[in-house]
Every structure is written in C-alpha cells, then in structure tokens.
Structure 1
Amino acid sequence: MNSNRHKTGIFSFLILMLVGSASLAAQSITLERAVLLISPSVPAPMHETAPQVFVEEVARRTGITLKTVSNWPKTNTVCVAFVLSGDQVLQGVRVPVNTSKDQPELMPEGFRVVEETTPKGTTLWIIGADARGILFGAGWVLRKLNMDKNRLELSVPADIATAPDYPIRGHQLGYRSTANSYDAWSVAQFDQYIRELAIFGTNAIEGIPFHEAEKPSSHFKLPASEMRIKMSEICQKYDLDYWVWTPATINLTDSIKRKAELDLHEAFYRSCPRLDHIFVPGGDPGDNHPKVVMPFLNDLQTRLIKYHPKAKIWLSLQGFTVEQIDYFYSYLAKQKPDWLAGVVHGPGSPSLAETRYRLPKQYQLRQYPDITHNIRCEYPVERWDQAYALTLGREATNPRPYFFAKTQANSAPFTDGFVSYSDGCHDDVNKVIWSQRGWRSDADVHELLTDYGRFFYGPKLDEAAANGIAALEQNWQGPLAENGGVETTFAFWKKLEADNPALATNWRWQLCLLRANYDTYTRRRLLYEQSLEKKANFILVNANAIGPETAMNQALDIVNQPDKSPISPELKSKIETLCADLFASIGLQTSVAKYKAKGYERGCVLDFVDYPLNNRWWLADEFIKIRSLKTTGEQVTRLREISTWENPGKGSFYDDVSNISKGPRIKTISDDATDIAWWKDGLSRARLSSQTFQRSPALSYENLDPGARYSLRVVGFGEALLRVDGQRLEPMIYNREADTVKEWIIPLSATQDGRISVTFDQPEESHLNWRQNSRISDIWLLKEKVNE
C-alpha cells in the first residue's frame, strides 16, 4: 500500500492552505505583461515544452502572447521563472528555499509554486523536482489562472508545494476502429488532448498497436501504424510515459506465429522514439496459459531493452483460471523474474486485495479501471433507470465525478496507480478526476470541477460548471420518472448556453449540453409514453365488452401516438444538432448510419433517441399472435393477461426485476446494474421488462395475508432455482425458453407471519457464454384465498 504517498498528499494539502511570509503577496497577481524565464538546467525537451504550453494556453484564452526572455527583465515587471529544485540561483537571483521539514518539490514529479515580491519586481517561481515537476507546476498555475479576453490573473495565494500520491496516472487513448471518437482524430488533436491531460496531472498515455489497431476505420486521418509512432513522439514532447496495450491473441505454442509476433514487436520498438511500458493482458482478449505467456514476455523484454533500456513489461491476470493464477504466482516465487515490472488489475482479474497480498513486494500493481462505460462493465451505474439504459446505453457522455472519487479512494491504496480504459472523449471529466485524485488522494471533488470549468470554460463559469456537471451526475440517480431534478438541470444548462454563445464550438461544452437535452427528452418521453400504455391497457382489459379486434386496434392507435405526435420535438432537433456539432468538433460518432460508428453499442445515442419507452413494438407483435388464436375467448384471456401484466390485482404484487421504477421489493443490485440483453443491436422488439434482468435476484415481501394462499410466478430464461425463507421449492410449471413462465405454490407455513423472503440459487453455468446464462426479468406474488 501507499501510506507514505498518502502522507505526502496530506502534507501537500497543508502547504496549499498556508499563507507565506510577509514577503509573499496574498493578493492577486496580474500577469498580462509577464515574461517567462527558463533555467538552463531544465532539460530538453521540457526546456522548450513548458514555456510553449504556458504561452499557447494563455494566448488561446486571452489573446495575450507572453514573451520568453533569456535574461531577467530590467524593468519592474512580473516574471514567471521555471527552475529545478536543485537550482540555487537563476542568473544571480536566489531561488526561494522551502524551509519546512518536508519538501514535496524534491520528490519525483513534485513542484513548488511561490510568489516573491521585491523592490525589483514580482516573480512567480515554478520550481520542479524534475522535468515533469516543471510541467505539472505550470499546469497548476494554468488551472488556477483567471483567463479571459485581455485578462490574466492569479487570484489564489501562490504558495503551494506538492508531489503525487501515486506514481502512475494515465489513460488509454486507443486509435482503433472501435473507439467512438479517437479514430477520427488528427495528430494535432491528440497532441492538444494529451497536453490538457498533462495539465491536470496525467503522466502516462497508453496506445493500442498491432492487431486491434490495424482494423481499418473510415475515420482514420493516418494509418494506425503511423499514428502510434506519432503518439510516442507526443509523449516524448511532454515527458509522459508511453504504454502500449498489446494482447497475445495468437497461439504461443505455434513457433512460427510466435516468432512473427516477436518480430512485429521488435519492429515497433525500433521505430518508437519513446516507449516505457508493454502491457500484455492475460485475457480479454487472449487465452494462452501463463506457462507459455511468461517465456514470451521474457523474450519481448529482451528485444524491448535493445531500443529502450529502461522500458518494462507488465501482465494482467484477466481471464486466468484458478490453476493458471496459482501457476503464475508459483513462477514468480521460483524464477523471481527481474524483467517483469508488475501486474495490471483489470475487469475479470482476482480482487485487488488478493492480488496485492499474493504479489511479491518487488512487483508493482497497476489498476486498469474502466471509466468509459455505463453498463456491462466494471463500474456500472447502480440502479440505472431502464429508460437511460435503453437509450443512452454503454458509451454516452458520462461525467461521474463523485462516484469515481469514491471508487478510486477504495481501490487506490492497494496500487501504485492506474492507466484507465477509455474508448472516447465522452469520459473526459472522469479522466480529470482520476488524474487529480491520483495526485492527491483527498482532493476536493468540487474544487477539481471548478478548476475544470475555469480552465475549459472560463473564470466566470468555474462554479457554474462545477455545479452543472455534478447535476448531470445526479440526473442518473434513482427512478427517472421521479427525478424532477432533470428538468432543473436542463434549465440550468439552457441558461448557461444562452448566456455564453462563445462556447458553442467548445466540444466539452457540447457534451454537457447534449446530456442535459437528452436526459430531459428521455424523461419527457418516458412520462408521455408510459401514460399512453396505461390508457391502452384500460382498453384491453375491456376487450370482452368491445371485442378483441376493436380493443387491439384502439390500443395500438393510443400507444403509437409518439410516432405521429412526438413530445418536445424541439429537444429532438437540438440533440440532432449537438450530435452534428460533436462529429464536426471531435469526431464523436453518435450514429452508425449518419456518422459511421463502428457499432450500435459504441456511443450511438442518436440511433436510440426515439427507442420506444412503452411496449408498442411488443404489443404489435403480440396482437399478431392473438389474432391467430382459435376462439374469441382465448383472445380475450390473453389480452387480459397483457393488460394486467403490471397490475395483478388487490393483494398481489409485481416486480420488474431491474427497473428501479417498477421493482420496489427487489433488494439486490445486478452485478451489471441494469443488465440489458443486447439483442438485435439494441433494437429489440421484446417486452421492455424482459430486456433488463438479474441472474439471481432477492426480494422481500411484507404485510401478506396469513389466511391466503400465494403462488409465485417468474418470467425469464433458463433456470430459476427458487428458495422461500431459505427453503428450496419444487415448481408446478417450469419452462426454460425465453419469456416463458415458471410457477410455484408458496407453503402456508411460510406466509403465516405475514412476510417472506425470496431468493434464487445461482445455477452452475460457467461453461456458457454470459449471453446464454439464466436470467429473471419479471416476478409476481399472486394472492388466492384459501378454500374454507
């Protein structure tokens, strides 16, 4: 664990809060006429990169072009001086000394920013422990500066000394066809984005070479083989570690394929100006046994250090069986390979606690957190409303700052840091949170969001942006129909948009506006379309009186009204406009047909913006089946079943298992939140309740009638191994096909106290693909009076 680093973080926070000596101004510093001076001891390329970043980012926001000088200015002016902590003087001027016991600016990547005012002028010192410390110190100043047209002011007390809590703080930027935006980027866009990540404390970038990256994309600005070298050059420019994620997807026992793979790697190593880490996942993809993986990695390292002597090899245990995991640790104990840097923990790996416990201390442990997905992922949105899951899907714009701050706080102490999994810029806020909390583990989330707003939107919007982003996260909390805050968030962002037209082309701004509009449109549709289905059900329940054909026709006319008279068409139009703007600004592919996204699961929110939020597609298909029934009575019976699906009558209960709006008795959270059956590219016509499910839900029922008989009915797929109050029950009806019924009679002895608990044993299905695992979507507890 990293207790020492945590102490450093606490110390950094205390230093930040201190006001310096009388010679240090507590007032704002005006930098409009400042000049930059760089110590000759700052090594290349940071000697050129740090002032370039500072000058360009200031000019972009203020129109002011600061000058870099080679000597101290003779006039009484403000100077921004970049020096190393080992410098005692800069051209005859003493570098301020931190007299405190601990000096974070002497630690790797640490820095001190301090203002010093003398009769000769004011100097803002950026004192770095090393080249990265210079860059991160400059980044701190840029985040805190108030920059707008012809204004450049540092209003916070300039006296901070800090070093990172965790040495690895990175993000994967995969230039491959499956990304929802990166594959459309130019070299300049990658350069700017990597720079901005560095300004917020990122020190590592991970690329994806070879097999995954070689799949063509119509959006590529450069061939993947060229772009991965350009990314290496960008990392060299900013002195960031360049990692590559490269699975061994071939059969490593095939000597010919193995040699070809090694040669492929070596050619890449040779061509990279900078390469620091090779990460080979054990699985997802890849299915080789570690007995062949470890020698392969050893051979990789032999070739790697020929060109990059300090570069390191990493392995994840993703997808390994218990036997394979034991083999790996046995190998470490016996061989003690010094060529292995450490283990990467990703989805499908053994727990972080177990990994850190079993991993010898000489090996590092890096996390590989999935910060890019919302469902079917490592960190799903808990109890996500079904309407969002069916429309926003897996890769929507997803600022989750408070959730990920807590997540990182729980996991980081086991690790030496992280390189996140990201498939697009839609998770930009999450990257900033992880990078900054990796720097200081107790950093205040609201402060980080104000820094984000100040730097990317301007000083007048720092608080507003922080609050607006936090509100977007809250939009996803709880049942959508009950979340009136969604409309408030929309009104907030709508006013911000009206008041700040200059930000219309800012892609981060566009992402927030898209979410605010999309969330509101989805909520309005949900309320509207669900109300129509209730009206249709009232028609269907009276099918015996008006005739089944008339009832079905009238019901369809009602539930199909959204197709003819959609609600809030102005919001739909705005969403379309924002999606077009985002494709133009950042290459975000929100549609397969319109923007050539790789697949519907890859952030295609535009393709699902009008996906039905009532069961009109399912009803239309069911009515076709009902019309084929032989008798009117059979038709009426089936229509009554449909119309009372969610309303089984007085004293009975219904739960839509993974719909938080309709599952009040569900006590469990699915391992994958609202787990959607990804059928027909997300455009399934199945009943909505059957598209979200759990494997083995638990329910609690209260206030049951002790004098009544109850039966329990389940709709799902595969097995449903029921227990009531811990006792396994035998079914009366047991169909395993999709969307068919299973039914049990509840013993009277179980309901005598007016309550029961319902659980389901998990069947052994490890041999099946997860899509074929058993699932439960609907549960009824049906009351029937006991015969006297």
Structure 2
Amino acid sequence: MRSKIQSYSFLPTFKWSAICLVLLVSGFAHALYAQTVNLKNAVLMVSPAIPSPMKETAATVLSEEIAKRTGFGLKNAAVWPKAGVPTIALVLSTDTELFGKPAPSKRTGENPEFKKEGYRIVTETSEKGNIIWIIGADSRGILFGSGWLLRNLSMDKNILQLDEKADFATSPDYPIRGHQLGYRTTANTYDAWTTGQFDQYIRELAIFGTNAIEGIPFQEGEAPSPHFKIPSAEMRIRMSEMCQKYDMDYWVWTPATFNLKDEAKRKAEIEMHEEFYKRAPRLDHIFFPGGDPGENEPSDVMPFLKELQSRLVKYHPNAKMWISLQGFSVEQIDYFYKYIETEKPTWLQGVVSGPGSPPMAETRYRLPKQYQHREYPDITHAIRCEFPVEKYDQAFALTLGRESVNPRPYAFAKIHEKYAPFTDGFMSYSDGSHDDVNKVLWSMRAWDVKKDVHQILKEYAGFFFGKNIDNAVASGIEALEQNWKGSLAENGGVEMTYQFWKNLESTNPKLKDNWRWQMLLLRGYYDEYTRLRLINEQELEKQANEILAKADNQTITKSMDQALAIVNKADTEPIARDIRKHIEDLSDALYISIGLQTSSAKHKPRNPERGAVMDFVDYPLNNRWWLDDEFEKIKKIKEPAEQLAMLKRIATWENPGEGSYYDDISSVAKGPRVKTISDDATDVAWWDSGKSRKRLSSQLYQREPALDYVNLDPGARYIIRVAGYGEALLRVDGQRLSPKLYNKEENSFKEWIVPLSLTQDGKISVTFDGPEESDLNWRKNSKISDVWLLKE
C-alpha cells in the first residue's frame, strides 16, 4: 500500500484529497444507479398484438438461451404474477396495456421504438417485483430488443440478472444488415451443418442485429459436398422457413454462368427458378451478379431479370431483383445506366457493390435515388480479396493463407465507416464460421455506426463465453488482430497473446467444447507456433548461407550437403511439438463441433485453399525446398567457377554486401525501402496447390512497387537488379532507364545501370510503370518480387 501512495507523492495534498473525494462521490452515485435487476424465476408475458410467428419465436429464443446458461427457463404467463416474482414483458410500442397493466407511457412517434425495427428497454423495480419491458416498434423490434437483453444479462448457473437499470431506445442506422450463408461445397463449414445448426446460427446473428440471410440455391456444375446432411435443394427451403420464423429477409445469390443467348438453357434456368420460388415460403430478394461469375452482356441480363421477376411476384408479390456490375466494362456500365434511365424498371430494387464493382461513391452518384445500393463486402478472406490485410507477414500468407480464423474488428470498423454512407446497408460474403467475429462487428456497426468496437467484442464474449470473462476475451480478440500487423519475427506481442489465451484456456475448462472458443484458441496457438518456426528456420538459413559463402573449388558439393542438412533441421529437429500437437487437437475438435474443414487429409474440404490451414502448418518458412532444387541444378554444371558463382548468389541473395541494398518487395520484414502497399502486396499466387517449391520471396509480389534509397555514395556506380516475371518498366527519379539485362522468364533477372548524375545528392527514388496487360489473365500479369541496389 505504501508504494502506491509514494507513487503519487508528487501531487499536492489538496489535489490528492480532491481526487479521492471525486472518486468516492462518483462511486457512491454509480452504486445507487447500478442496482441489479434480479430476474431469477421470472415469468414471460407476451402481448397478443405481436404477430405470429414472432410472438412464439421471441418467447422461445429468450427462454431457451437463458435455460442453456442458467439451468432454468422462463415460464409463460397471461396473468401478472404475485408480488415479488420478476417479469419480462414483450409489447409493441402501440400497446397501451398488457393484461390489464399499463405499459410504460407512450412516447412520440419520433422516438426509436416507433421507427422500423426499433425498440425501447425499460426496467421497473419495486417491492412488488422487477419488470423489464421490451417495447418493439414491430415484430423485428421485439426480436432485436430480446437480443439486447440476452447480450446484457448476467447468466450463470442459478443466476439471471441485469446489472443495471435501463431506460433507453434505439433503432438501426442502416436497413440492410445481412450475411451470406451458402450451403455449398465451396464453403469450409456451412456444408457440414444440420438444419438445427443453421437455425441456431441464424438465431444468434439476429441476437446481434442481423435482419437478412442470403442463400446460394443453385449449384450448377458443382458436385454435392461429402458433408451434406440433407440435399442442397431441401436445405434452401429449410433456410427460407428459418427466415420466416425469425422474420428475416431471405435473399438468394444466383448468377448465370451460361450464355443467356442460348434459348434452351435460358428457358431451363427460368423454370428452375420458378420451381424454387414456388416452394420457398419466404423470399424477399434475388441478387444477380453481373460478373464473378458470369460473362453476359447487360443487354441480355436485364431482360432475363425482368422475366425472372415476373415469375417471382407470382409467389412473392413484394420481392425484388438486384444486380451487381462486377466485372462490367465501362461500355457495359454505361449501357446499364442508360437502360434504367430510359426504362425506369420498377422490378429492379437496386445495385449491389462487391469485389470488381465500380467505386461505391460513383455507383451511388450515378444511381437514381429511387434505387437502393447494397454493399457486398468480403469479410471472409485475408489475401487475394477485396480487403487484404495490410502488411500481412509472408509467413502468415504462406500458412494461414486466405481463409483462416480471421477476427479483424478494428479494420472492418474502419472499412464499414468508409463505405457505408454510400449504401443502404450490406450483405456480407462469407464462406464459413471462421469470420464469425467479423459478422457480429458488421451487424452491430450497421445498427449503430458509433458503437464502440471494444464494447461490441465484450457483448460477443459475454453472450457466448460468460460475462465474468467478457473484458478479457474482448482484449484477447483485439490481440489476435494485432498479431497480423507487421513483421512477425519482430512482433513480441504474439508471444504475449499466446500466453494470454493459454491462461484463459486453463482457467475456463468448461468452454473447451465451445466452437467459438476453439477457433480463437486455434489462432492464438497457430500464430505463436508460426512465429517460433519463422525465427528458427530463418536462423538455420542464415547459418547455411555462411557455409555456402565459404565454399571453394574443393568444397562445392560438401558445402551444399552441409547447408542443406542445416536448413532441413526444421524437419529433422522440429521445435515446439507441444504447441503443434495442441493445434492439431483444436483443429480436429473444430471439425467435430462446427464442421470446420482445416485438413485435406482428415476433413475433405473442397480444396486446400478453402481454409485448410493444417495443410500448411509446417510449410517451410525458409528456402530449404528451393535450395534443394537449386543444388540439383548446380550439381549438373561442369564448370566449378560457374557453380561457385551460383552458390555466391544464393549465399548473398539477401545480404549483397556493404553499401548495397536488398528488398523483398512484399515482406514487411525484408522490404524496408518499399513505400507501396498494394492490393497484391501479399498476393501468394497459389502455385502448386499452395505447396510451391519456389523461393519464398518469389511467391509474393507487387506489380508497380516504389522504393526510396538514401545515404548513397555520390561517387559510386550503382546497378539495379530485379527478379520477377514479365515486364519491369523502371524509372529512377522519374527518368526511364534502358536495361543492360532483361529476362522476362521466371527465376531470371533484369539489370539497369544508374546514371551517376542521379546519385549525386545521395538519394534516389525507384518506380515502375504498369505495362498494358489488360488482355492477360491476372495470373499472367507481370510481377516484381525482389529488388537490389548493388554498389560496384
């Protein structure tokens, strides 16, 4: 106690007394206000005015979710209980009373509980018993108000209480808040779900403010998943029923991957759609992507959608059509806008903006006001996607890859804040349970754009893991996001995050079968294991390079054998086996609990790219595979001088000597002079199903990097060397240089002599012009992976 007092000894006495007084008074005031509202053994009373099925659904959701956590449910009542028995009352904002008892005084129609989907929560405490009123503007307001209560209740065995009194109201900022849940082979989780798991997940999304679900009903050309519990045709109808039950809009995403000019296929497609429309009990919106996939002209697409709409309204009179302009050329986009300007189609509800669409601000500007604009954000991928992780370490790009457990709450809060003002809401692109935190973040920020991110995570943690650890888990999720920022080897926070989650795991054993818990633990352990491997394997390669650098005519073969033996210690003397084993156990547990397919050998995902992180958990983080292949090439060379030259280039690849510089263009650890962060900055090209034997630096690239060099020797001659593929149109200080060496093939080099006049001030800027390659598939575009500035 003394040390604490001493630490404040610099404060004047009167200030210290004032601080204590303020803390005492504020604490007393908070204690008065923060009276708990005990709800143990509460009865549930539901207004008869609430329409079915919500009248039954909300009561079921409250009772079942409370029972799971406390051991007791809520009893329904139509008569007010005797004094002392707490009550949860569900009423509409238009209700004046509930079973003879006046509802809280009616407010003006401008209040949130009178706005679409809005609600008010009011607590009444007295000796006669505690009452919590959930006052909904409509059916959804009742559900979302119930969700608020569940997120804020303290629930444990024989405990059910609200920690503070409440009287507040809220309504959503954006009307469209949804997520795509595609029951298809492509998904890494959903294809393994039962109808019960889908129902529970949709319920949980609703508890966090989601009001729409998007299915993918037609799986043209795709074989049924080996994990399907029921046929996809049946599941799409079950999902429609679930949306009806929870009063959520049911959307479907349905492209045309055939030529719409083919009359026979067009007719068959329309008939297939109509059969689905006829069977679905609820269907609100059809989303047709113009491209990704699909390559039809808008002149064919618009009449096709108009005909689909005529079939749709026969069974769902208020349902509408949507289109995205993904992949459309400038001419095609102009055609679309001219069409809606002249035709003014009333059957079209709006435009969706997704990956490959025109800029969202431009779309909202060009789109007439009567049409809505919906975002289609990719919240499920980390690289090769719409919103790649900036400065994603190469080690993560090669192991966790594109589709791993990926909580990015702060990044997505900023992304939502940037684009949401141009839209009427969003429906996310998701391919599994791994992005669960992101779904909740998007739903809650679309409800309230100012809601604190940490508070969102606390509510997430409190509901799924318990309020006793909500703050700790929220901080742990934030730490996982920080793991992905910057150089992994230099990020000591990864070790702290691992220890944090390991401690949470040991102190909360009852959560071991909770799939959300398992996912977060998996990331904590996986990140630490990857960092330990990276540090170890990079050190092994450094030792191997030292041996290669000392090779002479008599020791060429011996040096290669020794170097290879050293880098291969990553396999022969593996590290952190306890962590590795736990990662595997968590991976298998996730397959059992939620169907997450992380291993091709065990779980049969569609392909390794679809979240199969266990396929890459031991993928080399040094260049041992590449060295093995290079040494085989060197052994076939007859001239020792040529062999030694190749060994020297390998040994000095990343350390070209004093006064020279090397940058791995897309490595946050090994590219200190690189200024650019492009969408392709961590774009692993996915060669050989993710198991490429190429040099690690060549697997990531940029197309038009920019680099700055300072502290150069004004009297020295410099050469720029570039490794990559295809063209490299280099400029130094804005001046285009002519190369002295220019190979376009993979694993080859280009070189330029830097004019002395450009280095006289001791610094240069290097940039690259983008070659015209619009006719090429993106995988064939030019790439730049390594850049050297070599002092002669």
TM-score by length of 2: 0.95
CA distance in 2: counterparts of 1:459 and 1:98, whole angstroms:
33
Whether contact under 8 Å (2:277, 2:315) holds in the other structure is yes
Q: Which residue of 1 aligns with 2:690?
A: 682
What do residues 547-584 of structure 1 show as CA deviations (whole Å, max 9, x unaligned)?
Answer: 10010010011000011110101111001100000000
RMSD between aligned residues: 1.3
Q: Which residue of 1 aligns with 2:183?
A: 175
Q: Which residue of 2 aligns with 1:66?
A: 74
Post-superposition offset of 1:26: 4.5
Q: 1:72-151 to 2 correspondence within 5 Å?
A: 72-97=80-105, 99=107, 102-118=110-126, 120-151=128-159
The alignment partner of 1:70 has SS state of: coil
CA distance in 1: counterparts of 2:307 and 2:737, whole angstroms:
57
Matched, 1:47 2:55: yes
CA distance in 2: counterparts of 1:521 and 1:779, whole angstroms:
30
Whether contact under 8 Å (1:115, 1:122) holds in the other structure is yes
**Pairing partner for 1:196 from 201, 204, 217:** 204
Matched, 1:405 2:396: no
What do residues 8-39 of structure 1 show as CA deviations (whole Å, max 9, x unaligned)?
Answer: xxxxxxxxxxxxxx9x9751111111100000
CA distance in 2: counterparts of 1:680 and 1:185, whole angstroms:
30
Post-superposition offset of 1:117: 2.9
Matched, 1:536 2:544: yes
1:231 is aligned with what amino acid?
M
Q: Which residue of 2 aligns with 1:616?
A: 624
CA distance in 1: counterparts of 2:342 and 2:541, whole angstroms:
66
1:349 is aligned with what amino acid?
S
Matched, 1:388 2:404: no
1:326 is aligned with what amino acid?
D
Matched, 1:235 2:254: no
CA distance in 1: counterparts of 2:593 and 2:582, whole angstroms:
16
What do residues 279-313 of structure 1 show as CA deviations (whole Å, max 9, x unaligned)?
Answer: 00000001111111001111111000000011110
Moved more, 502-511 or 253-262: 253-262
1:589 is aligned with what amino acid?
Q
Whether contact under 8 Å (1:176, 1:212) holds in the other structure is no
CA distance in 1: counterparts of 2:97 and 2:111, whole angstroms:
18
**Pairing partner for 1:279 from 261, 280, 287:** 287
Q: Which residue of 2 aligns with 1:476?
A: 484
Matched, 1:351 2:342: no
Matched, 1:563 2:574: no
Post-superposition offset of 1:213: 8.7
Q: 1:278-427 to 2 correspondence within 5 Å?
A: 278-427=286-435
2:677 is aligned with what amino acid?
I
Aligned residues: 763
The alignment partner of 1:776 has SS state of: strand
Post-superposition offset of 1:97: 2.4
Q: Which residue of 2 aligns with 1:644?
A: 652
The alignment partner of 1:61 has SS state of: helix
Q: 1:623-642 to 2 correspondence within 5 Å?
A: 623-642=631-650
CA distance in 2: counterparts of 1:634 and 1:561, whole angstroms:
28
Whether contact under 8 Å (1:281, 1:317) holds in the other structure is yes
Q: 1:499-514 to 2 correspondence within 5 Å?
A: 499-514=507-522
Matched, 1:590 2:590: no
Whether contact under 8 Å (1:213, 1:224) holds in the other structure is no
1:335 is aligned with what amino acid?
E
Whether contact under 8 Å (1:377, 1:672) holds in the other structure is no
Whether contact under 8 Å (2:286, 2:321) holds in the other structure is yes
CA distance in 2: counterparts of 1:589 and 1:101, whole angstroms:
49
2:283 is aligned with what amino acid?
L
Q: 1:437-452 to 2 correspondence within 5 Å?
A: 437-452=445-460
What do residues 564-614 of structure 1 show as CA deviations (whole Å, max 9, x unaligned)?
Answer: 110101111001100000000000000112110110100010000000000
What do residues 439-493 of structure 1 show as CA deviations (whole Å, max 9, x unaligned)?
Answer: 0001000000000110000011100110000000000011000000000000000
2:663 is aligned with what amino acid?
D
Gaps of 5+ in 1: 1-21
Cα gap change, 1:213 to 1:412, in 2 (>3 Å): farther
What do residues 153-211 of structure 1 show as CA deviations (whole Å, max 9, x unaligned)?
Answer: 11133212000000000000000001001000000000000000000000000000113
CA distance in 1: counterparts of 2:108 and 2:625, whole angstroms:
70
TM-score by length of 1: 0.96
Post-superposition offset of 1:662: 0.2
Cα gap change, 1:213 to 1:418, in 2 (>3 Å): farther
Post-superposition offset of 1:119: 5.1
Moved more, 521-530 or 153-162: 153-162
Matched, 1:257 2:265: yes
The alignment partner of 2:708 has SS state of: strand
1:141 is aligned with what amino acid?
L
**Pairing partner for 1:57 from 65, 69, 86:** 65
What do residues 247-286 of structure 1 show as CA deviations (whole Å, max 9, x unaligned)?
Answer: 0112111111111111000000000000000000000001
Post-superposition offset of 1:101: 8.2
Cα gap change, 1:720 to 1:214, in 2 (>3 Å): closer
What do residues 396-454 of structure 1 show as CA deviations (whole Å, max 9, x unaligned)?
Answer: 00000010011100010000000000000000000000000000001000000000110
Post-superposition offset of 1:212: 4.8
2:50 is aligned with what amino acid?
V
What do residues 305-337 of structure 1 show as CA deviations (whole Å, max 9, x unaligned)?
Answer: 000011110000000000000000000110000
Q: Which residue of 1 aligns with 2:18?
A: none
List structure 1 runs of 4+ shifted beyond 6 angstroms.
Answer: none
Post-superposition offset of 1:667: 0.3
Post-superposition offset of 1:673: 3.6
Whether contact under 8 Å (2:680, 2:701) holds in the other structure is no
The alignment partner of 2:86 has SS state of: strand
The alignment partner of 1:543 has SS state of: coil
The alignment partner of 2:489 has SS state of: helix
Whether contact under 8 Å (2:328, 2:357) holds in the other structure is yes
Cα gap change, 1:321 to 1:145, in 2 (>3 Å): same
2:171 is aligned with what amino acid?
A
Q: Which residue of 1 aligns with 2:277?
A: 269
CA distance in 2: counterparts of 1:119 and 1:191, whole angstroms:
39
CA distance in 2: counterparts of 1:538 and 1:120, whole angstroms:
82
Whether contact under 8 Å (1:390, 1:682) holds in the other structure is yes
The alignment partner of 2:717 has SS state of: strand
CA distance in 2: counterparts of 1:667 and 1:523, whole angstroms:
25
CA distance in 2: counterparts of 1:294 and 1:775, whole angstroms:
38
The alignment partner of 1:669 has SS state of: coil
Matched, 1:456 2:436: no
CA distance in 1: counterparts of 2:483 and 2:315, whole angstroms:
50
What do residues 360-385 of structure 1 show as CA deviations (whole Å, max 9, x unaligned)?
Answer: 00000000000000000001000100
Whether contact under 8 Å (1:214, 1:225) holds in the other structure is no
1:171 is aligned with what amino acid?
H
What do residues 717-736 of structure 1 show as CA deviations (whole Å, max 9, x unaligned)?
Answer: 00000011111111100000
CA distance in 1: counterparts of 2:680 and 2:158, whole angstroms:
50
Whether contact under 8 Å (2:564, 2:628) holds in the other structure is yes
Cα gap change, 1:101 to 1:219, in 2 (>3 Å): closer
CA distance in 1: counterparts of 2:405 and 2:306, whole angstroms:
40
Q: Which residue of 1 aligns with 2:7?
A: none
Q: 1:723-734 to 2 correspondence within 5 Å?
A: 723-734=731-742
Whether contact under 8 Å (1:77, 1:122) holds in the other structure is yes
Q: Which residue of 1 aligns with 2:716?
A: 708
Whether contact under 8 Å (1:381, 1:673) holds in the other structure is no
Q: 1:12-27 to 2 correspondence within 5 Å?
A: 26-27=34-35
Post-superposition offset of 1:100: 6.8
Gaps of 5+ in 2: 1-28
The alignment partner of 1:121 has SS state of: coil
The alignment partner of 1:639 has SS state of: helix
Structure with bigger RCO (C-alpha 8 Å, 6+ apart)? 1
Whether contact under 8 Å (1:214, 1:224) holds in the other structure is no
CA distance in 2: counterparts of 1:616 and 1:419, whole angstroms:
43
Matched, 1:667 2:675: yes
